[in-house]
Chains A and B, each alone.
Chain A
Amino acid sequence: MRSERRTGEARAAFWMLLPALSLIAVFFVLPILASFLLSLTDFDLYALASPRNARFVGLANYVRLAEDPTFWKALRNTFLFVLAGGPASVAVALGAALLVNARVTRFKTLFRTAFFAPVVTTMVAVATVWRFLYHPRVGLFNRALDLVGLAPIDWLGDPRWALLSICLLAVWKNFGYQAILFVAGLQAIPESLYEAARIEGAGPWQQFRHITLPSLAPTFLFVAVTTSIGYFQLFSEPYVMTPDGGPLGSTLSVAFLMYREGFRWWNLGYGAAIAFALFAVILIATRLQLQLFGRRA
C-alpha cells in the first residue's frame, strides 16, 4: 500500500515539477551551455548577416580576454565595487539593524519602512535622480558642500571619485534589504541567552561579542554572499550614471563590458567569453567566502 502511495506521489511530483523545471531548462540552463559554445566562436555582426562568417576559434577569445587591458580594468573595477561596496553596505545594514532592534527603540516599523523604500524603487529611476544629485555645478551634494565651505567634488567626472560615487548609490539602495535580514537574524536569538549573560555580569559589548555575533554568523554569511554576488553583477548603476564607462574607464564593470561587447558591438563570441569569465570569478569568490566565513558558523 505504501509503495503504491509512493509511486502516486512520485508521478504527481513529476507533473508538478515539469512546467517550472522545463522553463528553467530551456530559458536558463540551455542558454548557459550555449553561451559556453558561443564563447568558442568569433560570432559577430558579420556572422549575424551570414552564418558562413563565423569561425570556431577554440579558446582564442579567452586568450584575447587575458591580454585585453580593458577587461582587466573592468575586472579591477568590479573587485573594487565588491570590496568597497560590500563591506560598507553590510556594516551600515548591521548597524541599522542593531539600532532598530534595540529594546529602547520606538517606531520600529516606520524606520524599517524608510530604510526599505530605496530597495523597492527602480534602479534606473534612482540612478537618474542621483546622477543629477552628483552634478558638479547644480547638484545638491556639491551645493551642500558649498554651504559648509568645502570645495566641490566632481563626483562622476573625477577618476578618483567616480567609482566611490557609484558605490555610495549602491549602498544607499541596498542597505535596507540587508538590514531586514539582519533584524530577522537578531530576532531569532533567544532572549534567554542575553538574560543569562547579564546575570553573569556581562556588559553590552561582551554580550555583543559572545552572543550576538556568533548567533548572527549564518545570517551574516547569507548576506555577505548574496551582497557580493549582487555587486559582481553590477550593471544598471554604471550604465545609467556613466554611460561611457566613466572617467578613464573607472566605472566600467565586467557586466557592463559584456553588455557593450555583446549588445552594442555585437561581438557575441567575445561577449560570451566575458560572461563566462564573470561567472568563474563569482563562483570562486563565493566558494572562498563560504570557506572563510562558513567555518565560523
Chain B
Amino acid sequence: MSRLALPFALVLLLAGCARKTETVVRFWGLGREGEEVKKLVPRFERLHPGVRVEVQQIPWTAAHEKLLTALVGGAPPDVAQIGNTWIPEFAALGAVAPLDERIARTPDFRPADFFGGIWRTNVIDGRVYGVPWYVDTRLLFYRKDMLAEVGFPEMPRTWSAWRTAMDRLKAKNGPDKFPILLPKDEWQQPVALAQALGATILRDGGRYGAFRSPEVERAFSFLIGIYRAGLAPLVGREQVSNLYQDFAAGQFAIVITGPWNLGQFHDRLPPERQGDWATAPLPAPDGQPWPGAGVAGGASLVLFRRTPVPEAAWAFLEFLSRPDMQAQLYRLTGDMPPRASVWQATGLARDPGAAAFARQLEHVEPAPLVPEWEQICSKIPPALEEATRGERPLEQILADLDREVDQILEKRRWLLERNPHPHAF
C-alpha cells in the first residue's frame, strides 16, 4: 500500500501542475448570444493552446442585476458581453478597463470600421471602455399585403401617414386585430420617438431630467393616442404567447422589433407568408428628414479591470471582434455586425430585409450616457402606461418623472461638483 503511495502522489502532483499552467478565461454571455458563442470557443482554444474559455450564459432579464451583484461580491468574470447602455455605469464604477492602449497595440484593429454612432456609445470621457459586438436598433417589420390593402404599398414615412395607415387597418380588420404591437414595457419606443423630435431626455450634462419638454410630450401623446384608439394592445412583451403565429395570422400588421427577428421571421413564418412581410426604418415626425432617429442599442465586449488573466482575456475579446468571428456570430444569431466590412463580407449589405437596418443604423442616437440610465429608463414605461390609462394628466406624470429622475441623479450631481472628470478611479 505504501509502495504505491509515492508514485500515486507524484501522478496527482503532476496532474495538479498540468492543470495550473492552463489559463482559464471566464466569459459571461447574455441571452441567445451567450449560448451561441460557445460554438466559437473551440477555434479560439486551438489558436491559443493552454488557454481555456468558460462560458456562462445569463438571461437578459437578470443580466444587469447579476453583473452588478457579481461585481459587488467581488466575483466578476474576465470578459463579458454587456448592453451598451450600461457602459457609462460600469466605467463609473471602475469595473471595466480602458482599452485604448490595447487597441492601438493590436494590428488590424480599425475602430474606423465600426459604425460611428455605435462606437461612440463606448467612449466615456475620451477613453474607450468596450468594443461593440453587435448592433441592435428597433424598426418596423410589417405585412406588406395588409398595408397595401389600405392604400399604402410602402411603409409610410411620416408620423401622420403612419397613424392614418393604422387607423385604416383597424377600421378594415375589426376590433379583435391590432394594427401594431408596441409592448408597454419597453423604453426604446418612447425614447426613440422623443429623440426623433430633438428631445435630449436629460439636460445639463446628464444632471437633471428633461421629460417636461414639448418634444417628450408630443412623443408620449403620439403613443398614447395609438393605445387609446385600440391600435395597439396595452400588453407587455411576455404576454404575447407566439409572435410569429400572430403576425402570420394578421393579428398584428406591424411589429417594432430588432434584427434577431430577421432570421426568426424567415424560419418561423409559414412559407405562404414569406413574400408578405418587409422591414422599414422608423417614420420621421412630419417635416423632418426620413428616417426618424432610432436608439443605438446593441452589446459590447468589456474587459474587467480586476481580471487575473488580462492578456488571455484581451486575446479572447479581440478574437471575438475579428471580422470573420463577427460574421460567424451573425450566421449563428442573426445579430447585426457593428463593422461595415462585415456587412460587405456576409452579403448582409445586399440582403433586402437588412437594407432597412443599414439605413436606420446611420440615424441612431445613443441613450443618455449616464451610469444611472438603467434605473432611469425603468421609470419610463410605467409613466407611459399610467398616462395611457388616463387617471392623471400627462403633464403631471412627466413632472413627477422629472422629480424622480432628479432624485436619482442627485448623487451624480454631487460627485460631478467634487470632480468634473471622475473617471480616475
Q: Establish whether A and B are touching in the complex (CB under 8 Å).
A: yes
Q: Mark contacts of B54-80 with chain A using CB atoms, 8 A cut-off: 1 yes-contact digit, 0 otherwise.
A: 000000010011001101100000000
- Residue B239, interface by CB 8 Å: yes
- List A contacts of B71 (CB < 8 A): 48
**Beyond A247-B385, A263-B65, is A69–B400 a contact (Cβ under 8 Å)?**
yes
Cβ proximity bits B79-108 to A, threshold 8 Å, 1 near / 0 not:
000000000010011110000000000000
A49 and B241 form a contact (CB under 8 A): no
Residue with the highest number of chain B CB atoms closer than 10 Å, among A64, A159, A266: A266
| A49 close to B93 (CB less than 8 A) | yes
**Mask of A45-57 contacts with B, CB within 8 angstroms, 1/0:** 1101110010100
- A44 lies within 8 A of B65 (CB): no
On chain B, the residues within 8 Å of A264 by CB distance are 64-65, 68
Interchain CB contact under 8 A, A49 and B92: yes
Given A50-B94, A248-B382, CB of A45 within 8 Å of CB of B68: yes
Check: B386 CB closer than 8 A to any chain A CB: yes
Closest B residue, CB atoms, query A139: B241
Q: Are B389 and A64 in touch, CB under 8 angstroms? A: no
Total A-B residue contacts, Cβ distance less than 8 Å: 57
- Stretch of A130-138, A197-205, A225-233 at the chain-chain interface: A130-138
A249 and B93 within 8 A (CB): no
Indicate if B309 sits at the interface (CB-CB under 8 A): no
Distance A45 CA – B72 CA, assembled complex (angstroms):
8
Number of interface residues of A (CB under 8 A): 27
- B371: CB under 8 A from chain A? yes
Cα(A44)–Cα(B95), bound, Å? 15
State whether the Cβ of B235 lies closer than 8 Å to any Cβ in chain A: yes
B389 to chain A: closest residue by CB:
A248
A157-201, CB < 8 A from B: 157, 159
B236 contacts A48, CB within 8 Å?
Answer: no
A157-B235, A248-B385, A248-B389 known; A46 vs B411 contact (CB < 8 Å): yes
Question: What is the bound-complex CA distance between A44 and B407, given in angstroms?
Answer: 13
Q: A residues within 8 A CB of B249?
A: none
Distance between Cα atoms of A46 and B408 in the complex (Å): 13
Contact of B236 with A157 in the complex, beta carbons under 8 Å: yes
Cross-chain contact B94 with A245 (CB below 8 angstroms): no
- For A45, give its contact among B89, B235, B241, B385 (CB under 8 Å): B89
Determine whether the beta carbon of B382 is less than 8 Å from that of A263. Answer: no
At the interface, yes or no: A243 with Cβ under 8 Å from chain B?
A: yes
Tell me the smallest distance from the CB of B189 to a CB of chain A, in Å.
16
A249 cross-chain contacts in B, Cβ below 8 A: 382
**Residues of chain B within 8 A of A44, CB atoms compared:** 411
Any B CB within 8 A of the CB of A146? no
Given A42-B411, A248-B386, A265-B375, A243–B61 Cβ distance below 8 Å? yes
Nearest Cβ on chain B to A241's Cβ, whole angstroms: 11
Cα(A20)–Cα(B295), bound, Å:
55
- Give 1 or 0 for each of B10-23: 1 = CB within 8 Å of chain A CB: 00000000000000
Contact A50 B425 (CB under 8 A): yes
Give the contacts of B227-253 with A (CB-CB under 8 A).
235-236, 239, 241
List of B residues within 8 angstroms of A42 by Cβ? 411
Task: Give the complex CA separation of A196 and B201 in angstroms.
Answer: 77
Answer whether A244 and B94 are a contact pair too, CB < 8 Å, given A48-B72, A266-B68: no
Shortest beta-carbon distance, B314 to chain A, in Å? Answer: 22
Bound-complex Cα distance A42 to B413 (A): 14
In the complex, the answer to whether B415 meets A64 with C-beta atoms within 8 Å is no
CA distance A16 to B389 in the complex (A): 61
8 A Cβ contacts from B366-418 to A: 371, 374-375, 381-382, 385-386, 389, 400, 407, 411, 414-415
Interface digits, B156-168 against A, CB 8 Å rule (1 contact, 0 not)? 0000000000000
Task: Give Cα A243–Cα B235 distance, bound, in whole angstroms.
Answer: 14
Given A48-B72, A264-B65, A266-B72, also A53-B386 (CB < 8 A): no
- Contact flag A49-B425 (CB < 8 Å), given A138-B241, A266-B72: yes
Report B-chain residues with C-beta under 8 Å of the C-beta of A244.
Answer: 185, 236, 381-382
- Measured CB to CB, the nearest residue on chain A to B412 is A46
CB-CB nearest in chain B for A136:
B239
Q: Are B382 and A245 in contact (CB under 8 A)?
A: yes
12 inter-chain pairs at a CB distance below 8 angstroms, sorted by A residue, are A44-B411, A46-B371, A48-B71, A48-B72, A50-B94, A50-B425, A53-B411, A55-B414, A244-B236, A245-B382, A264-B68, A266-B72
Q: Which residues of B contact A (CB under 8 A)?
A: 61, 64-65, 68-69, 71-72, 89, 92-95, 185, 235-236, 239, 241, 371, 374-375, 381-382, 385-386, 389, 400, 407, 411, 414-415, 425
Known pairs A48-B72, A49-B92, A264-B64. 17 more at Cβ < 8 A? A45-B89, A45-B93, A45-B371, A46-B92, A46-B93, A46-B371, A46-B411, A49-B425, A50-B94, A55-B414, A64-B407, A135-B239, A157-B239, A243-B61, A244-B236, A266-B68, A266-B72
